[in-house]
Every structure is written in C-alpha cells, then in structure tokens.
C-alpha cells in the first residue's frame, strides 16, 4: 500500500497558527514605522514652509505674512491630511491666547507659530496637554522642529 504525499490537516493548522502570530506581531511594528515616517515628513514640510516665510520676509522688508496663502506658494497638507496651523505673533498682539506655549507657559516663538496638529487632529494650549503631545511644532524661532512631547 502506497502512502499519499502531501500535508496533513495538523501540519496546515500549525502553519496557519505561525502565520497568524507573525502577522499580529508585524502589523504594529509596521504602524510604528509609518507614524515615524509621517512625523519626519511633517518636520520637513514645516522646515520648508519656515524657509518660504523667511524668503517672504526678505522680499517684504521684514514683514511676516498674515497667512500662509499670502506667500503665493503651494501649501501642502500635513501627513494626516490636515492644514498646517500658522499664527503671525507680532500681528496678533501681546497676550494672544492662541500663541503656542511650553509646559511652563512660555511662548515657543516670538516671530510666528507654525505647527501640525498631529495624528489625533487635536491641539490644546501648552505642549504638556495630552492633545498637544503628538503635535509637530516649530519652537525657539526655528531652532527646534519636532514632536511636542520631545520639546
């Protein structure tokens, strides 16, 4: 009597269990890489927009644009398909509540605020607020661009 060649039911079940375990481990790791790539992309966009604002200032005797659209360049959406937030701080005047602040309530910038609201699409007062930790911010007048939780 000749035995049939091939996989038995037990072997196929073991293979399916192994594939399922590998998939459940790989998907969260892939999501982490995707989120880091989006953060890096937002940092690059904010850096590029900051350079465009500085070019605008040079062409307009040091005046900061009132809006990003005033610069006349294409303004991309952030990696989470949200518009970048911008505030001309000198034009807003002293004591403006929408100026971004650090955990000690010190303003992040003196010239302009430029940031992405991040993955959750929400932002709140100081960077220490839970909704602001995933924001990608420009701080120290452009010396720092990165996650709010890293500032």
The domain that holds 48 is classified in CATH as 3.30.700.10
Residue 1 lies in a domain: no
Q: What is the mean pLDDT of residues 8-32?
A: 88
Residue 5 lies in a domain: no
Q: Is-contact 111 89, C-beta < 8 A? A: yes
Read off the pLDDT of residues 51-90 as tens digits, 9 standing for 90 and up: 999 999 999 999 999 999 999 999 999 999 999 999 999 8
Q: Is-contact 78 114, C-beta < 8 A? A: no
Q: Categorize the per-residue pLDDT at 97 as very low, low, confident or very high, splitting at 50, 70 and 90.
A: low
- pLDDT for 7 equals 72
Distance, CA of 82 to chain centre: 10
Query: Residue 83 is part of which domain span?
Result: 10-150
Say whether 15 sits in a helix, a strand or coil.
helix
Q: Where are the alpha helices (DSSP H) in the chain?
A: 9-59, 89-92
The count of structural domains within the chain is 1
Q: What pTM did the predictor assign?
A: 0.80
């Amino acid at each position: 009597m000749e035995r049939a060649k091939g996989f038995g039911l037990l072997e196929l079940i073991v293979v399916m269990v192994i594939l399922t375990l590998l998939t459940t481990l790989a998907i969260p790791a892939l999501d982490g890489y995707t989120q880091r790539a989006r953060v890096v992309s937002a940092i690059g966009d904010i850096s590029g927009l900051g350079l465009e604002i500085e070019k605008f200032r040079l062409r307009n005797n040091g005046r900061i644009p009132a809006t990003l659209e005033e610069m006349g360049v294409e303004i991309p959406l952030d990696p989470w398909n949200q518009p970048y937030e911008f505030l001309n701080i000198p034009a807003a005047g002293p004591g403006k509540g929408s100026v971004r602040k650090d955990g000690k309530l010190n303003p992040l910038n003196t010239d302009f605020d430029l940031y992405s609201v991040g993955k959750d699409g929400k932002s709140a007062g100081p960077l220490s607020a839970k909704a602001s930790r995933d924001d990608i911010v420009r701080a120290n007048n452009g010396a720092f661009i990165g996650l709010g939780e890293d500032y």
